[in-house]
Structure 1
Amino acid sequence: MDASATARGLGRATVVAIALALTVTGCSSGSSGSGDVPKNVVPAQDAEDNNPQPLEKIKDGGEFRPPLQQWITQWNPYQVDGRYGDAVDIMGYVEAKIFRTDAKGTYHPVPEYLVSAEVTSTSPQVVTYKINPKAKWSDGKQLSYLDFKAVWETSNGKNPAYNIADSSGYEQISGVEQGANAQEVKVTFSQSYADWQSLFNPLLPAAGIATPDAFNQGWVEKVPVFGGPFKIGTLDKTAQTITLVPNPDWWGTKPKLDKITYRVLATPAITQAFLNNEVDYASAGSATAYGQLKDAKDGVIRTGTPWDEVHISFGGNGALADQSVRQALGKAMDRAALIKIVNQGVPVEFKPLGNHLFMINQTGYQDNAGEWVKFDPEAAKALLDKAGWKEAAAGQPRTKDGKPLELHYVVSDGSAQAQLDMAAAVQNMLRQVGVTVSVDKVSSKEYFSKYVNQGKFDLASWRNTGSFPLSLGVANFRAPQGDNVFGNYSKLSTPEIDSLLRKAAGTIDPVEAAKLYNQADVKIWELGHTVELYQRPSIVAVRKGLANFGAGSLADTDITKVGWEK
């Protein structure tokens, strides 16, 4: 199912995408009226379906036209409002993406930025980075330890004036200092941090984030300093288009494309735009979209299994402040039926996801859902009874202290029909146990900023994408600090979950770390925080001839290699 929005994490790119449709990167889904199709497409588990081509077979020049699902306001990916998935991806093209992951999720230093990066001491943990001396920002300054230091100082959570997306990793650092010269960086950790390669990625210039005002406001509607193979060409809010053009001072291999044009389109309009040859990339993850795009002229379907999950989150206010009520909702929902709604008409089987932190194709995955989301309406009723919500007359909501049990399921008005069908199914399932749910459509442009990010929902669905390595998912479940909720928009947490997640993120042995992450996941299920639905396969339509871009697994895109075949 395609969500209208996505949330992305940094390192790879953790992002929220719109609920049932979107992501900081919902899930998109197809129309339930298009009938079943055989589930005969098996996405690659650890490969990239992106038409890999060597550079000599790719034309010099040309334009690539991807769609955007919402206008990008905040470009700073370290700022709490800068986690929108497409924005994080673009920042990886225009700023210093110092590491990339391959299809198996292994990190590799990007040579244009790093000569080397390695752990040079384990007690305490010290990581030494050697910066490519050719690497420069658009203001002429060389990349240096000052940039690493600025990212750490702004993102470590010590100064609340910086409204950060996540302090994970940065709060474990005790110091960032110059090594042999300004292009050698020594990062010392007070506590071990296994996923150190996810930090400082992308690197931002110290000049752009040094003060709270620069950090929070300096990247609104603009990118003041850049240092990637591309730069922002135009930001046309009226036309809702964003263009990238090659950075003329780029010191690496020249990008093949001479222009990337992003166009903001409502989710339902993207399919037609592809058919009209107005965009070169479109999600085919819904039944309706797949049905229209599978035979599109000059189009090809590509599939993969990225870090991409679809879920329904519970709010933490009102009746849902009671854990028993949240647990009741989990048991009142028939996950298999909900998944079937959004899987209808799509040629890939959407498999139930039993973990909040691991995808099914990740080493360490185990299904921890247990009894918490086993469809059992009678058990749900018993939990609601226990919580003091008394049964009412048939068709009427339960009551407590004279108040009815009425909840709000917030959906984007850009949601595909299958997403709306899923919300309606949830509404009906909960009605059977005495819970009245209203499905509230809100503007897709405000879905995250005014509702999800503010915790103004009882139920909401979106996607989290790219939360790899594992520590990137910590922000979604950690305890809020003051007004900063990180990625935990429900604001639901426990000290035990916090402790387990922190310990896991500091455990270098991946086997031991996986045990701790899974222990935390068991507690997240018990908390009634989120009902995971499925790992969303990447099913996309791409214009024929587009090379080195499409559907991946755990790999990052090297934008300099994307282009059109000769």
Structure 2
Amino acid sequence: MPPRDPAAPGVRPAVRATAYLVAGVLALPSLAACGSTDDSGGAPSAAQDIAAAERDLITDGGKATWAVDALPETFNSFQSDADPATSRIAGAVLPSMYELDKRGRAVRNADYLESAEIVEREPKQVVLYKLNQQAVWSDGREIGAADFAAQWRALSGEDSAFWTARNAGYDRIEKIEKGANNLEVRVTFAKPYTDWRSLFSPLYPKDVMGTPDSFNDGARKTLKSTAGPFRIAEIDRKAGELTLTRNPRWWGRPAKLERMVLKSVPREERAAALAVGELDIAEVTPAEAERIALAARDSGAKGPLAHGPGAELTPAKALKSWVIANDPENEERAEAMAASVEKTHKAIKKYTKEQQGLRGFVVRKSLEPAYTQLALNGSGGPLADERVRRAVARALDREELARIVLKPLGLPVNPVGSHVALAGQDAYSDSSGAIGDQDTAEARALLADAGWVQGGPIKTAGSKADKKKAAADEDGTYIVGEEDGKPRADKDYEVRADNQPEAKAKREEERSKKDAHRGGAQGAYAPKGTAAPKPAGGPLAKDGEALNLKFVLPSGPGSEPLRAVGERIQRMLQKIGIRTELTKVPDDSYFKDHIASGQYDMALYSWPGSAYPATDARPIFAKPEPAADGSLNVEQNYTRVGTDHIDQLFDQALAELDEGKARDLVKKADARIWAAAGSIPLYQRPQLVAVRPGLANTGAFGFESPSYEDIGFLKSAAPAKK
């Protein structure tokens, strides 16, 4: 799978990176009426799936165990190593002034906030917060202005002793004062800020935010004071478990569950953990979701399973294995076969037992508030030319790519049309018209205009790897394998000859001969003797160099859908003469060593959606700027493609207090991001969550922030206490 999104629903990405590159300025065409004119985001592409139930139908008590990738390294959401588990815990134990609804819109959280509004616009923007009078920290102290002020000072960026990952919005605040009483907080902004609702969610107590030491280290291993429906009760890092229990000082709707346990379980081990009852809720891969569906289908069936280990073992193959395993003339071969058969039998037994355990689960499915994109690195090489990037974009059938991932799961196949919002959000508008629909002829014309000539001369190969490239079919593609981020020692390049036109024609001819031998249908294949089609011209070349791009993909378990999309993109680009080298690298080095460092031409990874696109999209698409030390600050713009105009539109949107005008500015910025063709949104990521039946108000949340206090077991299906 791609690198996990840097934030969970409702929490903005915190990761920043700096690369040492040099990028040129891109000139974008003038954009008039491009994209959709619809001002509404419409409905989300897929509804959430959480088995919603009223609270009076849910039993009081019980424990639910929820899988996470790992226990968080920090409980401070504003540090660089905060992860989705950090966000999940913060959502259950800390205040948030605003949450997200089903359409990804920010809504006031009445448990903490009676009201919040702009009370002054001139000469400066002033927001007045009125806090819930019952809101207290777990130590009994009122939540008030002192907590707001401490968080602002820590995140303002004024004091470098605070090791913060982001300060967006907080750096625009001039001062924070107590209002008529401690429950009123007046926030005065030095510069207008349209996304003021993004602030103070989550809100930490002043004893965490008050000093650099408490900010940097105090909240890494625990939170002494909390203010949510749950509190942190126990952390067992050796067992990989964190237990949340009801907060006795919680003033809102009491949590239905007595305990909620977050358990660290690697994704490849979750099916087994679900099967033995260790988990009640777990995000799963498409392959695991299919296993759960098959388990439900096979309930009550007799005989061996028609899937899993050994499913391909026919009677003839079984007989052959038995003969080899009992061959007295070749003891070594017989022992090896006997060991293989025994291993297969054990795998079948284990798989069958797990399938029986998985029958008790259902898969809740929707679309994540995140989209997968094709990133094009514009820092150098052929993709530094905007025309080449646009040619790549015009070669893609985005609907076909979305279909590969979403259709098998029964999810809507809708390509994403915006970089800054997702379908259902107010800021969503399909601006893909700025780049145009799939058009092979237009893509080839753009490459020709950029000087890439088909069949042009190519410099003589020198190195061993270059000779292999030169000896490949002229429309060849290559796969580069890596181990620990380095090329495999056994071979530099593996030519995928099976994908080439001549190889395909040869297979068709062989298939035709077999069909004729079997009495196949007349006219099903070309007449015998028909010449195999030849590739149309040679590779694209310019200044003696072939147009060849390095395409980086993750190699770990769960990444199969992403690799399938990458291979389909490879074939689409081959049609316009662009050759690609698929480089498969370990998941743990994929983002750090390749994406963030710029060691790629093309890559697939995801960005989370946001209710605050003016704030959160700007660093992703900001024009890289030279830093004081001579390096290039790319912020989160790992494609290294940006323009002054895009930055200006985001800056104008940030300072626009009219929400409609701010959205319009963000949409204009999106159209120009499309035209620059640094990243091509493809599809929303599927969200698949295995849930124990009878466990309500949890599953695939989509945009909406979870209501942790409402999660629980239906009275009709409540399990025994555990």
- Tell me whether 1:199 sits opposite 2:348 in the alignment: no
What is the deviation of 1:523?
1.0
Deviation string, structure 1 residues 520-544 (Cα, Å, up to 9, x no partner) = 0011112222110113454433221
- Tell me whether 1:522 sits opposite 2:520 in the alignment: no
Structure 1 CA distance for aligned equivalents of residues 569 and 603 of structure 2: 11
Match of 1:298 in 2: 360
What is the aligned-residue identity percentage? 31
Q: 1:498 corresponds to which letter in structure 2?
A: D
Structure 2 CA distance for aligned equivalents of residues 73 and 388 of structure 1: 50
Match of 1:209 in 2: 209
The structure-2 alpha-carbon separation of the partners of 1:71 and 1:49, relative to structure 1 and needing over 3 Å to count, comes to same
Match of 1:40 in 2: none
Larger radius of gyration: 2
Deviation string, structure 1 residues 338-384 (Cα, Å, up to 9, x no partner) = 22221342112221111111212233532211263643455445555
What is the deviation of 1:551?
2.8
TM-score w.r.t. length of structure 1? 0.82
Match of 2:313 in 1: none
1:546 to 695, 700, 709: 695
Match of 2:170 in 1: 170
Structure 2 CA distance for aligned equivalents of residues 244 and 449 of structure 1: 32
Structure 1 CA distance for aligned equivalents of residues 74 and 373 of structure 2: 25
Match of 1:270 in 2: 270
The structure-2 alpha-carbon separation of the partners of 1:501 and 1:325, relative to structure 1 and needing over 3 Å to count, comes to same
Q: 1:351 corresponds to which letter in structure 2?
A: N
Structure 1 CA distance for aligned equivalents of residues 708 and 85 of structure 2: 14
Structure 2 CA distance for aligned equivalents of residues 215 and 289 of structure 1: 40
2:582 to 427, 433, 438: 438
The structure-2 alpha-carbon separation of the partners of 1:304 and 1:440, relative to structure 1 and needing over 3 Å to count, comes to closer
The structure-2 alpha-carbon separation of the partners of 1:415 and 1:221, relative to structure 1 and needing over 3 Å to count, comes to farther
Match of 1:92 in 2: 91
Q: SS state of the match for residue 7, structure 1?
A: coil
- The equivalences for 1:119-134 within 5 A come to 119-123=118-122, 124-134=124-134
Match of 1:23 in 2: none
Match of 2:396 in 1: 333
Match of 2:244 in 1: 244
Q: 2:115 corresponds to which letter in structure 1?
A: S
Match of 1:38 in 2: none
Structure 1 CA distance for aligned equivalents of residues 598 and 205 of structure 2: 32
Q: SS state of the match for residue 652, structure 2?
A: helix
Q: 1:195 corresponds to which letter in structure 2?
A: D
Structure 2 CA distance for aligned equivalents of residues 44 and 493 of structure 1: 29
- The equivalences for 1:4-19 within 5 A come to 5-8=4-7, 12-15=10-13
The farther-off stretch of 135-144 and 543-552 is 135-144
RMSD: 3.5
| Alpha-carbon contact 1:285-1:539 (below 8 Å) kept | yes
| Alpha-carbon contact 2:434-2:674 (below 8 Å) kept | no
| Alpha-carbon contact 1:283-1:289 (below 8 Å) kept | no
Deviation string, structure 1 residues 444-480 (Cα, Å, up to 9, x no partner) = 4x54455545555443333333412433434432356
- Tell me whether 1:463 sits opposite 2:606 in the alignment: yes
Q: Which runs of 5+ in 1 are unaligned?
A: 18-42
Q: How many residues align?
A: 537
1:313 to 375, 394, 406: 375
Q: Which runs of 5+ in 2 are unaligned?
A: 16-42, 297-357, 459-469, 477-538, 716-722
Match of 1:115 in 2: 114
The structure-2 alpha-carbon separation of the partners of 1:371 and 1:523, relative to structure 1 and needing over 3 Å to count, comes to closer
Structure 2 CA distance for aligned equivalents of residues 302 and 538 of structure 1: 8
Structure 2 CA distance for aligned equivalents of residues 135 and 275 of structure 1: 41
Per residue, is there more helix in 1 or in 2? 2
Q: 2:622 corresponds to which letter in structure 1?
A: R
| Alpha-carbon contact 1:333-1:373 (below 8 Å) kept | no
Q: 2:362 corresponds to which letter in structure 1?
A: V
Structure 1 CA distance for aligned equivalents of residues 591 and 188 of structure 2: 36
What is the deviation of 1:91?
1.3
Q: 1:79 corresponds to which letter in structure 2?
A: Q
| Alpha-carbon contact 1:306-1:553 (below 8 Å) kept | yes
- Tell me whether 1:357 sits opposite 2:420 in the alignment: yes
Q: 1:5 corresponds to which letter in structure 2?
A: R
Q: SS state of the match for residue 350, structure 1?
A: coil
The farther-off stretch of 519-528 and 454-463 is 454-463
Structure 1 CA distance for aligned equivalents of residues 213 and 390 of structure 2: 42
The structure-2 alpha-carbon separation of the partners of 1:175 and 1:52, relative to structure 1 and needing over 3 Å to count, comes to same
Q: SS state of the match for residue 66, structure 1?
A: strand
Q: SS state of the match for residue 97, structure 1?
A: coil
Match of 1:35 in 2: none
- The equivalences for 1:20-169 within 5 A come to 48-82=48-82, 84-123=83-122, 124-138=124-138, 141-159=141-159, 162-169=162-169
Structure 2 CA distance for aligned equivalents of residues 457 and 94 of structure 1: 40
The structure-2 alpha-carbon separation of the partners of 1:496 and 1:44, relative to structure 1 and needing over 3 Å to count, comes to closer
Q: 1:352 corresponds to which letter in structure 2?
A: P
| Alpha-carbon contact 2:434-2:671 (below 8 Å) kept | no
| Alpha-carbon contact 1:548-1:562 (below 8 Å) kept | yes
Match of 2:562 in 1: 419
- The equivalences for 1:475-486 within 5 A come to 475-479=619-623, 482=627, 486=635
What is the deviation of 1:498?
1.5
The structure-2 alpha-carbon separation of the partners of 1:262 and 1:9, relative to structure 1 and needing over 3 Å to count, comes to closer
Q: SS state of the match for residue 174, structure 2?
A: strand
Deviation string, structure 1 residues 88-146 (Cα, Å, up to 9, x no partner) = 23211122222233334454433442233222223232111123354344565432223
What is the deviation of 1:147?
2.1
| Alpha-carbon contact 2:379-2:641 (below 8 Å) kept | no
Match of 1:565 in 2: 714
Q: 1:244 corresponds to which letter in structure 2?
A: L
Structure 1 CA distance for aligned equivalents of residues 7 and 290 of structure 2: 24
The structure-2 alpha-carbon separation of the partners of 1:94 and 1:414, relative to structure 1 and needing over 3 Å to count, comes to farther
| Alpha-carbon contact 1:8-1:466 (below 8 Å) kept | no
TM-score w.r.t. length of structure 2? 0.66
| Alpha-carbon contact 1:350-1:536 (below 8 Å) kept | no
Structure 1 CA distance for aligned equivalents of residues 125 and 552 of structure 2: 45
1:512 to 661, 684, 687: 661
Q: SS state of the match for residue 435, structure 2?
A: coil
Structure 1 CA distance for aligned equivalents of residues 622 and 161 of structure 2: 20
What is the deviation of 1:271?
4.0
Q: SS state of the match for residue 499, structure 1?
A: helix
The structure-2 alpha-carbon separation of the partners of 1:253 and 1:288, relative to structure 1 and needing over 3 Å to count, comes to closer
The structure-2 alpha-carbon separation of the partners of 1:373 and 1:435, relative to structure 1 and needing over 3 Å to count, comes to farther
Structure 2 CA distance for aligned equivalents of residues 322 and 161 of structure 1: 41
| Alpha-carbon contact 2:416-2:422 (below 8 Å) kept | yes
| Alpha-carbon contact 1:60-1:256 (below 8 Å) kept | yes
What is the deviation of 1:519?
0.6
The farther-off stretch of 285-294 and 502-511 is 285-294
